[in-house]
Structure 1
Amino acid sequence: MKPAAILEAALYVDDLAEAERFYGQVLGLDLLAKAEGRHVFFRCGDTVLLLFDPKATEVPPEAGARLPVPPHGAHGPGHLCFSAGAAEIELWKKHLEDHNVAIEADFEWPRGGRSIYFRDPSGNSLEFAEPRIWSFT
């Protein structure tokens, strides 16, 4: 057996309000849910992006909790890559620069496909890349 797809991905952020603004307004993702001081969730295609305050998710749930999610969290920058076609990447680069988001790297992969890298307000490394960078054929 093997998983068919990734349903959700998580990043950990320092400031939930700033993360909500960045992912909602700058990246245009649709807000799904939020819990003050704990998390902000967004829809991204068929996947859900979970943004957590690691201080809140490291705390074990109380006995008998309705949602007994085990503790989790990470410190330091994480990484997430969004899929985009070549023309979209050029548009994203301009859009990010128009929002004062610095592009850290912009290059073509040796096997083909372009990526641009940038950071969210918490320092997580984000990327837009052509899906063909992972072509398995």
Structure 2
Amino acid sequence: MTMKITRCLHTALLVSDLERSEQFYGSVLGLEKVDRVLRFPGAWYEVAGFQIHLIVADAFTIELNNPEKWGRNQHIAFSVANLDAAKEQLLAHNCPTQVSASGRAALFTQDPDGNVIELGEV
């Protein structure tokens, strides 16, 4: 018998400041927070049945392997309805942005801890 993966459930991201991260994922990206009783500091968000688990870690560093091209680093990708509106939202909140080097309709940003996020219009 062969293992068959049927869907992706969640990804976990380390964050250093939960309040700051909740503002980014909830207010800037507009993700829906999931009510959870946690035994450790963190927060869960959900989009289209996929969850993002923010887990507080006191000491960690995110180092980009390729700081010139954020898409060539570890990242999470989301589809957006309007890439221009997404970029305006990010810039209005002073979030860094980088247009995809591939030429496709996508851009990258980073959360307050440096986790890379791709937004694409697909």
TM-score class, shorter: 0.7 to 0.9
- Matched letter for residue 75 of structure 2: H
In structure 1, the residue matched to 2:62 is: 76
Kindly state the Cα deviation for residue 33 of structure 1 after the two structures are TM-superposed: 3.1
Structure 2 unpaired stretches of 5+ = 64-73
Maintained 8 Å contact 2:96/2:109:
yes
Kindly state the Cα deviation for residue 51 of structure 1 after the two structures are TM-superposed: 0.4
- Matched letter for residue 11 of structure 1: L
- Matched letter for residue 48 of structure 1: Q
In structure 2, the residue matched to 1:43 is: 46
Kindly state the Cα deviation for residue 129 of structure 1 after the two structures are TM-superposed: 1.8
Query: Could you say if the C-alpha distance between residues 90 and 39 of structure 1 is closer, same or farther in structure 2, counting changes exceeding 3 Å?
Result: same
Q: Report the TM-score, using the length of structure 1 for normalisation.
A: 0.68
Rounded Cα–Cα distance in structure 1 between residues aligned with 2:100 and 2:28: 22
Q: Report the TM-score, using the length of structure 2 for normalisation.
A: 0.75
In structure 1, the residue matched to 2:118 is: 127
Q: Kindly name which structure, 1 or 2, has the bigger radius of gyration based on alpha carbons.
A: 1
Q: 1:4 aligns with which of 6, 9, 23?
A: 6
- Structure 1 position 16 matched with structure 2 position 2: no
Query: Could you say if the C-alpha distance between residues 75 and 107 of structure 1 is closer, same or farther in structure 2, counting changes exceeding 3 Å?
Result: closer
* Matched residue count: 108
Q: 1:54 aligns with which of 57, 74, 78?
A: 57
Identical residues among aligned pairs (%): 28
Secondary structure of the structure 2 residue equivalent to 1:116: strand
Rounded Cα–Cα distance in structure 2 between residues aligned with 1:92 and 1:102: 12
Q: 2:34 aligns with which of 32, 35, 43?
A: 32
Secondary structure of the structure 2 residue equivalent to 1:96: helix
Structure 1 unpaired stretches of 5+ = 56-73, 132-137
Provide the alpha-carbon RMSD of the alignment.
2.3
- Matched letter for residue 110 of structure 2: R
Q: 1:106 aligns with which of 99, 106, 110?
A: 99
In structure 2, the residue matched to 1:58 is: none
Kindly state the Cα deviation for residue 130 of structure 1 after the two structures are TM-superposed: 3.7
